[in-house]
A and B are shown apart, each in its own frame.
Chain A
Amino acid sequence: MIDKRFDLAAAVADVKDGATVLVGGFGAAGSPIELLHALFDQGAKRLTIVSNNTGSGNVGLAALIKHGRVAKAICSFPRTANSTVFQDKYRAGEIELELVPQGTLAERLRAGGAGIPAFYTATGAGTRLAEGKETRRFGDREFVLEYGLRADFALIKCRRADRLGNLVYNKTARNFAPIMAIAAATTIVQTESYVEAGEIDPEVVVTPGVFVDRIVTIPNAAQESTLVAAGASYP
């Protein structure tokens, strides 16, 4: 019988040093705080993190970066008003940055997850972010070759999940989660609530269970924005 439920610690136990980990969330919305803190406790280091931002305050992703666990960030906007953690590490030369336009980042994940090795996009053509990349003209426009992105793990958050891994999200906390779920070898989900198979209408399933490997039920999950506003720090 298929049952993807895991305990929190067990869900992230096999993340190895040097792994590439996709982390859902846009700003604080959708940030899988409990999974990130479990990964912190687990101890993996030299991680490559793929995420739109680089965390806020001193919790979650920012805590991993602050404590030197992240070797490289692939992201579109490594800045937040309330955190200098990434900037400090970057200035000190202690973290590598691959800056990717947000839509290109999304499409690289979608393509990677769909088995498409590369694609052409007009985004970034003629700019510094296209330097050194292959370009090709289609019609009267220049396009840039970008590569699909796959990872070892994805850590994402959803609102409801069932035993088979079907997922429904909450508002703009959805953001990167569905395309990270498809792009990771092992997708780990923290869900606000767990329901029986059949309780999610098949017409409204956003991420079908085939893309999900592990489900951890975390009711009343912490909101990253609330933790940051309270000045929280992890550990």
Chain B
Amino acid sequence: MSETTQRSMGWSRREIARNIARDIPDGSVVNLGIGMPELVASCIPPDREVLFHTENGLLGMGPPPQPGEADPELINAGKQPVTAIPGAAYFHHADSFAMVRGGHIDICVLGAMQVSERGDLANWSMGEGDAAPAVGGAMDLVAGVRTIFIAMTHCASDGTPKIVERCTYPLTGAAVVSRIYTDLAILEVRAGELGVVELAPGVDFATLQRQTQAKLVMPRVPRTA
């Protein structure tokens, strides 16, 4: 199924990943979360060198292996087989999280269940009492990585806005998000407000605001697609 034909308006998952990749400068060290963020790796413009960190102990993560060449002892944080690029390094978990918690990773791209207008992130628990909660490295990443980008659909599958005044799900971190990249827009968390950086094709400000619970601010000169 083609990703570009799923929606009549807005960006596809691949285009969201491309929008994020466009904002990752040459020379960055980047950690990608599981799911849509993983698509960013293949969207980096060829004239930029970006190093990918995976918290299970690899800096210089490469693309998935060719069929038949997967190594069960070379995986990413999502437990999928990966490769190591020339110049890669392996290290143990304390070193890996010293990179994360010590501010040595430039950008982290994560998915989200909710983001608040002040940049609070909820992406680890629905707060239900039944299933055992699992947090992984998300709280370490948002606490330690300098710039947090969120890649997600603008609304939940039932249409509920995910960009809210206050998160109702348990927080992963408070005031940690820099930018939100969705199928409808690119938003930036600034001091006290949520600014629209760019609207997706076919999306106007009023439509975007209707699908966003938090109040949005349109800049005077928005970037156009």
Contact = CB atoms under 8 A, between A and B. Distances in A.
A161 interface: no
A123 B139 contact: yes
B87 to A, nearest CB: 15
Interface residues on A, range: 35 or more
Given A173-B73, A225-B72, A91 B92 contact: no
A102 B92 contact: no
Contacts of B221: none
Contacts of A107: 94, 97, 101
Contacts of B153: none
Interface residues on B, range: 35 or more
A99 B133 contact: yes
B29 interface: no
Given A30-B73, A225-B72, A103 B132 contact: no
Interface string B38-76: 000000000000000011111000000000000111111
25 contacts: A29-B56, A29-B72, A29-B75, A29-B79, A77-B135, A87-B131, A87-B132, A99-B134, A101-B135, A102-B136, A102-B140, A103-B93, A103-B137, A110-B94, A122-B144, A127-B174, A128-B125, A128-B170, A171-B84, A172-B57, A172-B58, A172-B74, A176-B93, A224-B72, A226-B72
Interface of B: 54-58, 71-76, 79, 84, 90-94, 96-97, 100-101, 125, 130-140, 143-144, 170-174
Given A102-B55, A172-B75, 16 more contacts: A28-B75, A28-B79, A29-B73, A77-B134, A79-B134, A91-B132, A102-B137, A105-B93, A124-B139, A127-B170, A127-B172, A127-B173, A172-B58, A172-B76, A175-B93, A178-B92
